[in-house]
A and B are shown apart, each in its own frame.
Chain A
Amino acid sequence: MLVDLSNLPSPDWLLALPQLIVLGLAIVLLLADAFVPARNHYTLLTTLSIVGYAAAMASLWFVDGKNATTFWWLFRADGLSVFLCLAILLAALLTIFVSASYVDRLEGRMPIGEYYVLLALSTLGALLVAAAGDLVVIFIGIELSSLAVYVLTAFAKRRATAVEGAMKYFLLGIFASAILVYGMAWIYGQTGSTNLDFIAQALASADAGGSLTEPSLLLALLLLVVGLGFKMAAVPFHFWTPDAYDGAPTPVTAFMSVVPKAAAFAATIRILVQALGPMQGEWLNLIAVLALLTMALGNIVAISQRNVKRMLAYSSIAHTGYIMVGLAAYRTETGFIGAGSGDQGVAAVLYYLFAYAVMNVGAFGLVAWLQHRGRGMTLDDFSGLASSQPLAAAAMTVFMLSLMGIPPTIGFYAKYRVIVAAIDSGTVGLALSIGIVVLSAVSAFYYLRVVAVMYFNEPIHLPRKTSTPLLNVGLAAMAIGSLLGGVFFAGDVFALAERWYRALTVLAQVGIGG
């Protein structure tokens, strides 16, 4: 592939505006951490972070609809990237609300500057994956996102469980990264390119030649699925999840349950749908089986957890399963290039990630809220919450109902979209939707147990009085969003998610291949 460089185009920086803003935020935070007096850190850095993520979200407005590519097709600004960036930035912003006072006051006053920097870097990594047009960018983005989260997991470094969880996460993470990069290498070896569109093109011609069953391609596919499955916490690659989630400081858990997962799904959509689209006959059923295993195991094991944080960790595995159903419902004969409105699966995945960010950060946020008030994370710590703290109990109830998927919460609409897409996709999808419904019924047990404990049990000890204004505002916003977001904004958000397929086709632009 030779490109004429005699007329070297300058990069279109504007396309990368959100990513650049977050990168800038990380640098500014780093500098401010070094040069601003420590007593101002909390207010200044928190404000900077909030403004930064909000500005990045606003900048998406410039990017939306551009459908362009830059840096020699390494970087893409298409519908998929816009929506993923929106969900990731929203999660990052909500994480700030949940984190600020926790980092400042609990677990022995962690250095807030470093915390925010790492958060920004991890977010940047996820944003890069969302906008990636090349396997290498995907890998760099995932690694950037993961490395920051490894550190964040161990951030409460005096607590042994935090270090243990981080260690496990890190060891298994690099193991999975190795597998992922090995898979990428096989793909490159077989197709001669790391560009997603070129890979798709090569595979399409391989499909025409009937050589998609070539073992090396299947090996590459499986290696990629294992690597990505680890990142999104799919069974049987999920083992790190409970330990890491449980060990990490609660706001970090909230963050890592959403942003790296979103990055993993972004990478999965980019790789499987965009690049390996012609191989969908090979991977759709694999994803379907993994989805079923993931939601079954997540939901079933969650039942026997008495630690709410750990229960939420298994619940997040279960939700990975639900989201994967959307992926398994992907149905477009021609792959990413010709993807049309006929496919609802990927749109459902995207919408689910958005809804999941709101309700899951909220649920973990409420655990953090209780920790502020001297309570632990077990079910007993929730008992009688409704009598002493009715609003907190109400918010937790909303999050639980939303995670359960009860109308009219946002979680219901997310699940509904996935189920609709799955039913439309055929018999396997129908079986998966039955699985979702049955396992949602199972999930009702552990979600409602929290609600029951809050409302029907006597309080064991009264909470310590403390004020957490920022956290309260965030929780209120997330509770209202979970309760009403599905009703009032679902249409707009889903319309945006459905534009994911308005992806430019690089091949047509440069006139290579087809």
Chain B
Amino acid sequence: MEHYLFLIPLFPLLAFAINILFGRAFIREQAAWIAAPAVFISWLLSLAVLREVSTTGEPLFQHLFTWIPAGPFVVEANLYVDQLTAVMLMVVTTVSFLVHVYSVGYMRGDGGFYRFFAYLPLFVFSMLMLVLADNFLLLFVFWEGVGLCSYLLIGFWFRRRSAIMAARKAFVVNRIGDVGFGLAIMWIFTAFGTLNFQDVFAAAPSATVGTLTGISLLLVLGACGKSAQFPLHVWLPDAMEGPTPVSALIHAATMVTAGIYLVARAHPIVELAPTAMVVIAVIGGFTAFMAATIGMVQNDIKRVIAYSTLSQLGYMALALGVGAWTAAIFHLMTHAFFKALLFLGSGSVIHGMHEEQDIRVMGGLRKYMPVTFWTFLIASFANAGVIPFSGFWSKDEIILSTWVAEIQPLGKILTVVAIVTAFFTALYMFRVVFLVFTGKERFDPNAVRPHESPPSMTVPLVLLAIPSLLIGFVGFPPESGIFHRFLAPVFNVVHHEVVQSTQLTIAALSTVAAVSGVAIAYLAYGSRVIDTAALARRHSAIYSFLYDKWRWDEFYGRVFVQPFTNLARWLWKVVDEGIIDGTVNGVAIGIGAISQRLRHVQTGLVTNYALAIAFGMVLMLGIYLGLFSNFFR
């Protein structure tokens, strides 16, 4: 298998090339038949790789070519598969393939059908290369590659102004993180003289804490951009302007987890920088909490799930911050399945409701779209962290790791935050479930006829519901499941000596939080015992603060965007047009004027010309004889 690693990313790349070159003219509606099989082959190959890695326990390696041979700066294009990469390959190819199948139904009839099925495999290719890369620079290239695909797919409906603005926002915000990542790569090369993962990690312990902290913080900045963590989280909710399958694949399951993957991959550096760890933990906990509170009051179904994604990514970041690498990847995996399912389910709802996204005008959809309802329900339980759904196991492990983390008392505080967030998570998740699928129909039945989606969309839902329900058991019992044993060679897991009672207490607490969240959601949106409207009126300040997403966009707009725009405008109007253009044009006008003046010296009279010669000569004579000769001395 080692010599065939390159085939995994190759097939999606070929699919992209074929569809982008011939899609418009020849392939058109058949583009999915090129893209989906290609990704399926990648999935099969990934499966083979997973099997090989799990049996031998040895990493796979393939040298492709030497990319940059420039003196001491050598960058190889190598593929590298260890247990972490194998997990990522499985997650990426599984979700990608199901999303491809789903999109056949969802994107039917769209004018950009071929374009969609060109960008999507391109994304799969970039994402696979990102996890296969064996050095920082190659990873960075495909980090940018997935960013490009994200940009293209957010702005897929480019005639819609909001889509363009969202794509641009995602691009610009990600640039900030990418600058951090880029600087981190430069620093790594200066400090270690290589960019290869294994060499860098081997040399990491010999570096100073300052260097490691600096590199780690810059990497974290990059990760914050890609994984939409505070303070660079603002782009992800807007990214929902893209088609829903894109939100599922790129902005929930895979690309946004690249930041988590990066930090986990670089854990030998990061774990030597305690300050950076604290920063990650705080950012993660804060983002998880903030996003969950915002998610409670949003009315757009995709936005709720988008904030849920932010929140869950926050959990992963929290896990990274407390050194629970395996738990972070575990949650990454479970989240990929149930969050993709949530997005695809919401896509199915939107599809069935004729492109309606506002949950306030839905209701009672359960009887119209049963498959969507049941799969969505499973995903919601998983997301809410209700035992025994997959999300419970991974989230519980994160909370437990936080409780016993070395950083105290911060660990205890973050544990409380995480449990409170779990409550909010269940609340917002089941708010959606109750508002969308139960109760009265709040839409006009004459105008909208909800219907179940075609099989190409419901089959992927069912297929995703299985792992959403069951995948958590690979992590059972906590900290010593199959999953942990599998990843042990990568992460050198330190077993927390946790008393059984603590473990059970934490599990019980998070379950209570989740269940009470579900219960309150039922009271408020199911049985309508709690009057939410009155509540919102009574606490209108808090409500509107949450509804306005903590007003980060406004804050950034006032503090960064507006001053920057003003500066740019000043540079444009005053410096460029005023000073620079003024100088250039002024000189040109001046020379033109001088030219007009001087041409009149050419009088056409030969006597004037002779006079000029004589005058010039006399002038020269005067100067020379007066200054340079001994004539007057």
Given A168-B609, A226-B617: A239 in contact with B628 (beta carbons within 8 A): no
Contact A230 B630 (CB under 8 A): no
Roughly how many angstroms separate A286 CA and B616 CA in the complex, as a whole number?
12
User: Does A160 lie at the interface of the complex (its beta carbon under 8 Å from any beta carbon of B)?
Assistant: no
User: Does A437 lie at the interface of the complex (its beta carbon under 8 Å from any beta carbon of B)?
Assistant: no
Q: What distance in Å separates the Cβ of B202 from its nearest Cβ neighbour in chain A?
A: 50
Contact B610 A297 (CB under 8 A): no
Contact A303 B591 (CB under 8 A): yes
> Which residues 134-175 of A sit at the B interface, judged by CB distance below 8 A?
167-168, 171-172, 175
Q: Which residues of B contact A240 (CB under 8 A)?
A: 609
Q: Which residues of A contact B609 (CB under 8 A)?
A: 168, 172, 239-240
Given A243-B604, A303-B595: A282 in contact with B613 (beta carbons within 8 A): no
Contact B629 A213 (CB under 8 A): yes
Contact B631 A215 (CB under 8 A): yes
Given A239-B609, A243-B604, A304-B592: A179 in contact with B624 (beta carbons within 8 A): no
Contact A304 B599 (CB under 8 A): yes
User: Does A219 lie at the interface of the complex (its beta carbon under 8 Å from any beta carbon of B)?
Assistant: yes
Residue from the list A175, A215, A223, A239 in contact with B608, Cβ < 8 A:
A239
Q: Which residues of B contact A282 (CB under 8 A)?
A: 624, 628
Interface centre among B595, B596, B615, B631 (most CB of A within 10 A): B595
Given A172-B613, A213-B630, A236-B615: A300 in contact with B620 (beta carbons within 8 A): no
User: Does B612 lie at the interface of the complex (its beta carbon under 8 Å from any beta carbon of A)?
Assistant: yes
User: Does A113 lie at the interface of the complex (its beta carbon under 8 Å from any beta carbon of B)?
Assistant: no
Contact B598 A218 (CB under 8 A): no
Roughly how many angstroms separate A230 CA and B610 CA in the complex, as a whole number?
11
Residue from the list B610, B615, B620, B629 in contact with A175, Cβ < 8 A:
B610
User: Does B594 lie at the interface of the complex (its beta carbon under 8 Å from any beta carbon of A)?
Assistant: yes
User: Does A20 lie at the interface of the complex (its beta carbon under 8 Å from any beta carbon of B)?
Assistant: no
Given A172-B606, A239-B609: A215 in contact with B629 (beta carbons within 8 A): yes
User: Does B621 lie at the interface of the complex (its beta carbon under 8 Å from any beta carbon of A)?
Assistant: yes
User: Does A301 lie at the interface of the complex (its beta carbon under 8 Å from any beta carbon of B)?
Assistant: yes
Roughly how many angstroms separate A303 CA and B617 CA in the complex, as a whole number?
27
Roughly how many angstroms separate A242 CA and B610 CA in the complex, as a whole number?
15
User: Does A416 lie at the interface of the complex (its beta carbon under 8 Å from any beta carbon of B)?
Assistant: no
Roughly how many angstroms separate A68 CA and B613 CA in the complex, as a whole number?
38
Contact A236 B610 (CB under 8 A): no
Q: What distance in Å separates the Cβ of A472 from its nearest Cβ neighbour in chain B?
A: 34
User: Does A222 lie at the interface of the complex (its beta carbon under 8 Å from any beta carbon of B)?
Assistant: yes
User: Does B602 lie at the interface of the complex (its beta carbon under 8 Å from any beta carbon of A)?
Assistant: yes
User: Does A484 lie at the interface of the complex (its beta carbon under 8 Å from any beta carbon of B)?
Assistant: no
User: Does B470 lie at the interface of the complex (its beta carbon under 8 Å from any beta carbon of A)?
Assistant: no
User: Does B625 lie at the interface of the complex (its beta carbon under 8 Å from any beta carbon of A)?
Assistant: yes
Task: Digitize A59-78: 1 where CB-to-B-CB distance is under 8 Å, 0 elsewhere.
Answer: 00000000000000000000
Q: What distance in Å separates the Cβ of B607 from its nearest Cβ neighbour in chain A?
A: 9
Contact A218 B613 (CB under 8 A): no
Roughly how many angstroms separate A214 CA and B630 CA in the complex, as a whole number?
6
Q: Which residues of B contact A230 (CB under 8 A)?
A: 613
Q: Which residues of B contact A175 (CB under 8 A)?
A: 610, 613
> Which residues 250-283 of A sit at the B interface, judged by CB distance below 8 A?
282
Contact B629 A218 (CB under 8 A): yes
Contact B624 A222 (CB under 8 A): yes
User: Does A193 lie at the interface of the complex (its beta carbon under 8 Å from any beta carbon of B)?
Assistant: no
Contact B616 A236 (CB under 8 A): yes
Roughly how many angstroms separate A243 CA and B183 CA in the complex, as a whole number?
65
Which B residue's beta carbon lies closest to that of A230? B613
Roughly how many angstroms separate A303 CA and B624 CA in the complex, as a whole number?
33
Roughly how many angstroms separate A234 CA and B173 CA in the complex, as a whole number?
62
Q: Which residues of A contact B606 (CB under 8 A)?
A: 167-168, 171-172
Task: Digitize B571-599: 1 where CB-to-A-CB distance is under 8 Å, 0 elsewhere.
Answer: 00000000000000000100110111011
Given A301-B598, A301-B599: A222 in contact with B620 (beta carbons within 8 A): yes
Interface size class for chain B?
A: 20 to 34
Roughly how many angstroms separate A199 CA and B283 CA in the complex, as a whole number?
89
Contact A218 B610 (CB under 8 A): no
Q: Which residues of B contact A385 (CB under 8 A)?
A: none
Which A residue's beta carbon lies closest to that of B631? A215
Contact B598 A297 (CB under 8 A): yes
Task: Digitize A187-223: 1 where CB-to-B-CB distance is under 8 Å, 0 elsewhere.
Answer: 0000000000000000000000000011100110111
Q: What distance in Å separates the Cβ of A227 from its nearest Cβ neighbour in chain B?
A: 10
Given A179-B617, A214-B629, A286-B620: A300 in contact with B612 (beta carbons within 8 A): no
Q: Which residues of B contact A301 (CB under 8 A)?
A: 595, 598-599, 602
Contact A213 B592 (CB under 8 A): no
Given A213-B630, A297-B598: A171 in contact with B610 (beta carbons within 8 A): yes
Roughly how many angstroms separate A302 CA and B596 CA in the complex, as a whole number?
10
Which A residue's beta carbon lies closest to that of B625? A215
Roughly how many angstroms separate A179 CA and B616 CA in the complex, as a whole number?
13
Contact A237 B613 (CB under 8 A): yes
User: Does A176 lie at the interface of the complex (its beta carbon under 8 Å from any beta carbon of B)?
Assistant: yes
Given A214-B630, A300-B598: A236 in contact with B612 (beta carbons within 8 A): yes
Q: What distance in Å separates the Cβ of B289 from its nearest Cβ neighbour in chain A?
A: 61
Which A residue's beta carbon lies closest to that of B614? A175
Q: Which residues of A contact B594 (CB under 8 A)?
A: 300
Contact B595 A236 (CB under 8 A): no
Roughly how many angstroms separate A290 CA and B487 CA in the complex, as a whole number?
82
Residue from the list A179, A214, A300 in contact with B591, Cβ < 8 A:
A300
Roughly how many angstroms separate A124 CA and B616 CA in the complex, as a whole number?
31
Contact B616 A442 (CB under 8 A): no
Q: What distance in Å separates the Cβ of B510 from its nearest Cβ neighbour in chain A?
A: 72
Q: Which residues of A contact B617 (CB under 8 A)?
A: 179, 222-223, 226
Roughly how many angstroms separate A225 CA and B610 CA in the complex, as a whole number?
16
Interface centre among B588, B591, B615 (most CB of A within 10 A): B591
Which B residue's beta carbon lies closest to that of A303? B595
User: Does A305 lie at the interface of the complex (its beta carbon under 8 Å from any beta carbon of B)?
Assistant: yes
Roughly how many angstroms separate A176 CA and B628 CA in the complex, as a whole number?
24
Contact B592 A222 (CB under 8 A): no
Interface centre among A171, A219, A239, A300 (most CB of B within 10 A): A239
Roughly how many angstroms separate A304 CA and B595 CA in the complex, as a whole number?
6
Roughly how many angstroms separate A221 CA and B599 CA in the complex, as a whole number?
30
> Which residues 140-176 of B sit at the A interface, judged by CB distance below 8 A?
none
Residue from the list A176, A213, A214, A221 in contact with B613, Cβ < 8 A:
A176
Contact B598 A222 (CB under 8 A): no
Contact A218 B602 (CB under 8 A): no
Q: What distance in Å separates the Cβ of B205 from its nearest Cβ neighbour in chain A?
A: 54
Q: What distance in Å separates the Cβ of A33 from its nearest Cβ neighbour in chain B?
A: 32
Contact A239 B629 (CB under 8 A): no
Residue from the list B588, B596, B599, B625 in contact with A218, Cβ < 8 A:
B625
Roughly how many angstroms separate A168 CA and B602 CA in the complex, as a whole number?
12
Given A237-B616, A239-B612: A304 in contact with B625 (beta carbons within 8 A): no
Roughly how many angstroms separate A83 CA and B606 CA in the complex, as a whole number?
35
Roughly how many angstroms separate A302 CA and B595 CA in the complex, as a whole number?
8
Roughly how many angstroms separate A302 CA and B598 CA in the complex, as a whole number?
10
Q: Which residues of B contact A305 (CB under 8 A)?
A: 599
Q: Which residues of B contact A237 (CB under 8 A)?
A: 612-613, 616
Roughly how many angstroms separate A213 CA and B627 CA in the complex, as a whole number?
10
Which A residue's beta carbon lies closest to that of B617? A226
Given A222-B621, A226-B617: A213 in contact with B628 (beta carbons within 8 A): yes
Q: Which residues of B contact A304 (CB under 8 A)?
A: 592, 595-596, 598-599
Roughly how many angstroms separate A97 CA and B624 CA in the complex, as a whole number?
46
Roughly how many angstroms separate A355 CA and B608 CA in the complex, as a whole number?
33
Q: What distance in Å separates the Cβ of A390 from its nearest Cβ neighbour in chain B?
A: 30
17 A-B residue pairs with Cβ-Cβ distance under 8 Å, sorted by A, are A168-B606, A172-B606, A175-B610, A175-B613, A213-B630, A214-B629, A214-B630, A215-B625, A215-B630, A218-B624, A219-B621, A219-B625, A221-B624, A222-B617, A236-B612, A237-B616, A239-B602
Point out residues on B near A: beta carbons under 8 Å. Answer: 588, 591-592, 594-596, 598-599, 602, 604, 606, 608-610, 612-613, 615-617, 620-621, 624-625, 628-631
Return the 10 tightest CB-CB contacts between A and B, nearest first.
Answer: A239-B609, A236-B616, A215-B631, A304-B595, A303-B595, A215-B629, A168-B606, A226-B617, A300-B595, A213-B629
Apart from A226-B620, A237-B612, list 5 A-B contacts with CB within 8 A.
A172-B609, A213-B628, A225-B620, A301-B595, A301-B598
